[in-house]
Structure 1
Amino acid sequence: MSNSTAAAILTTPDLDEALRVVRGLLGVADLDCAEVDFEAEIQSRQGLAEVSRVLPGLNWWAREESDPRSAKAGDDPAECLPVRVHDWCHALQLAEPFVRALGPRDAAAVRWDLNGWPAVPEAGLEDISQKYAYLTLSVNSRDLYQCELAPDHTVYVHVRGEHDLDRVHWLAAQVGGRFEGRTELAPL
């Protein structure tokens, strides 16, 4: 197991702006064999219905650890709200529909597992393999794990560690963002 450093390059109340930045970063990344993972806390029946349309067979369980109800047990998630979602290894094209399906009180982290970040010789940056090449959009939350709920959305780029912040600055500049100085350790 290894860790990456997730660096915030944009926090905005405008979901369209956050998605524009994500699309720009995906245009820079090596997407060969890339996939997307979803983590969320769904609060409402409407949000649950919309997310379930995007991800049929949704992998969920009751939010309270003492509550054993889950998708695996065959329970009805609408009877268990709020529910936690951990649904991994999906095609990239499901990311934006998933984000748009979320309700205004549903917090989520969408993580793109990339094949790599490119080398940028003029900036002195070597390529980074998939081990440290991730991109996360936190929706209605200011952190990677939906602990700090907020009315805005944060885009994070993941790199090897604090010593690789030049790459963060370079990636942010490619999409009109800037490194906000906030980082989180991201166990992978």
Structure 2
Amino acid sequence: MRDSTRRLVVMGISGCGKSSLGAALAKALDLPFTDADDLHPAANRAKMAAGQPLTDDDRLPWLAAVGKVLAAHGGIVACSALRQTYRDQLRRAAGGVTFLHLTAPRGLIAQRLAARQGHFMPALLLDSQLATLEPLGPNEGWTLDVSGSLSENIAAALRLIDGPS
């Protein structure tokens, strides 16, 4: 039986593995999964594809859509949620949201972005994402270094989420 009350946002900069890890966690925990990239308006996608960082105004309707999904379905959402104010907006929309912030060294993220094909977010926006990123505050969730393999990262994330056994 799915837990419709669990709301976890797998967050971080582009290229950290939010979508891959989030989908794997959703499968392991039998929860619905949503990739917030799929909720971006076409104008946001076009702007990023052109190498232009999004503004807070660009993000507002997108974050509202992400919040609606979390409120309606719960589960796991892969969403950058880079700033505290964005995370606050998601919590206001959906209540008890916990965040799993994925981190890795800049060089590794740059390699992943360079190897990625078919994504609207170009590698040249890495520095703007890093400049925008605000670390999690107290009681927002967990931070996980995802420098390892996907299977190692999934295991580590599950240990954090499920707590000590």
Report the TM-score, using the length of structure 1 for normalisation: 0.28
Greater C-alpha radius of gyration: 1
Q: Which has the higher strand share?
A: 1
Report the TM-score, using the length of structure 2 for normalisation: 0.30
